[in-house]
């Protein structure tokens, strides 16, 4: 009841509301318990992986799967085309690398590896991602006894170096759509050889591939992909571009939805992430950033996104006046310079990294 002198009916209503509230709370607890049971931890040993891979994972200190790995790996091992969406840092790379290596190890043991061209193709939007995926795959292969070969090829390499890298050829090729399309057009790789040897193709960070104007390169690749090739599409977001790629490259794919890779809320914002929004005028932005950094309201490594290269360098010079060291990362820098900046940041040479928007993929003013 809202008032001490309320009627009996008001008291009854108040008790009824309390009871209903208790029932709702109990219902929420039951739902949470059910969700927890549904998302029970699954180890890599339970997924039927090759003993070499399980041993490699143990050496890397990895025993339990993430939700995307738990759901995607069995589907890929069954030979299905898969479209999977999961946030950055959720374990997407191992979700496709492990079943890919499993399949190639199996083909090796059975003597069914074809050598005319790469057996697997991993396509990513940028050279930096090529390096990242290559490092992850190499770290697994180094812990296996198999002689599987992986190479990365980028447009920054000379034709001579690309030919040398592809001699053999490798079992796994990590590259960008533009680079593989150029290799085919120049005759460095024969389209007929790809059609004969390719058994699996992965599109990682697929939501960015079309943003980086890779559509024509992907369309040029399509005629050389055998019908039997298994295709995997990994993305951090859902968009019409994903649907376009799916129709272009996949056959009756299994689509992993949010409910299959974790709670929708967790997929948008991890539980340990807090968000704050500051409304201020353009002339006050740098002052706010300075206050946040100088007063250590934001600690450890900080990544600051800036909407242009000019503004990124303007912010860097401003922060230097107050003895705050930072580095600017932008698409106009050579690849080696970008990699060095990232490595320096990881080594804590710079605590603050200013990432400038790529003008080539910037949204129109009305959508910024």
Q: Which residue has the tokens 């107050």?
A: 322
Pick out the chain residues at pLDDT < 70. 1-40, 257-273, 358-368
Q: How many CB atoms lie within 10 A of CB 274?
A: 5
Rounded Cα distance between 51 and 105, Å, is 10
**Residue 299: C-alpha distances to residues 105, 204, 271, 279 (Å):** 44, 31, 18, 21
Q: Which residue has the tokens 């799967």?
A: 65
Roughly what angle, to the nearest 10 degrees, separates helices 177-185 and 159-166?
90
Q: How many CB atoms lie within 10 A of CB 356?
A: 22
CB 159 within 8 A of CB 183: no
Rounded to two decimals, the pTM is: 0.71
CA-nearest of 221, 229, 243, 223 to 76 is 229
CA-nearest of 177, 247, 175 to 215 is 177
Rounded Cα distance between 2 and 252, Å, is 59
Q: What pLDDT does residue 335 have? A: 75
Rounded Cα distance between 245 and 81, Å, is 13
Tokens in use for 273?
């992430």
Who's near 20: CB < 8 A, 6+ residues apart?
A: none
Percent of the chain clearing pLDDT 90 (strictly above)? 40
């Amino acid at each position: 009841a809202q008032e001490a002198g309320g009627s009996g009916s008001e008291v009854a209503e108040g008790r009824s509301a309390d009871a209903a509230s208790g029932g709702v709370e109990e219902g929420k607890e039951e739902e949470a318990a059910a969700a927890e049971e549904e998302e029970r931890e699954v180890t890599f040993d339970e997924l039927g992986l090759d003993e070499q891979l399980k041993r490699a994972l143990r050496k890397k200190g990895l025993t339990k799967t993430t939700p995307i790995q738990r759901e995607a790996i069995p589907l890929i091992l069954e030979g299905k085309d898969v479209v999977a969406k999961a946030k950055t840092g959720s374990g997407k790379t191992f979700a496709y690398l492990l079943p890919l290596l499993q399949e190639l190890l199996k083909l090796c043991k059975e003597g069914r590896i074809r050598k005319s061209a790469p057996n697997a193709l991993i396509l990513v939007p940028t050279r930096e991602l090529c390096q990242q995926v290559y490092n992850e795959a190499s770290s697994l292969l180094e812990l296996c006894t198999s002689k599987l070969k992986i190479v990365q090829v980028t447009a920054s390499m000379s034709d001579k170096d690309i030919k040398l890298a592809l001699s053999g050829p490798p079992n796994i090729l990590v590259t960008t759509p533009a680079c593989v399309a150029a290799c085919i057009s120049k005759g460095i790789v024969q389209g007929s050889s790809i059609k004969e040897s390719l058994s699996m193709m992965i599109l990682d960070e697929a939501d960015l591939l079309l943003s980086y104007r890779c559509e024509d390169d992907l369309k040029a690749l399509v005629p050389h992909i055998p019908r039997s090739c298994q295709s995997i599409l990994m993305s951090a977001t859902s968009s019409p571009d994903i649907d376009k790629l799916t129709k272009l490259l996949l056959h009756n794919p299994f689509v992993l939805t949010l409910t299959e890779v974790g709670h929708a809320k967790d997929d948008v914002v991890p539980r340990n992430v807090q968000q704050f929004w500051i409304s201020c005028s353009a002339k006050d932005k740098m002052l706010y950033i300075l206050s946040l950094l100088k007063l250590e309201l934001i600690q450890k490594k900080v990544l600051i996104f800036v909407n242009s290269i000019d503004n990124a360098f303007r912010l860097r010079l401003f922060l230097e006046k107050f003895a705050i060291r930072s580095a600017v990362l932008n698409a106009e820098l050579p690849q080696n310079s970008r990699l060095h900046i990232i490595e320096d940041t990881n080594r804590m040479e710079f605590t603050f990294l200013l990432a400038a928007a790529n003008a080539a993929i910037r949204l129109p003013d009305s959508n910024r």
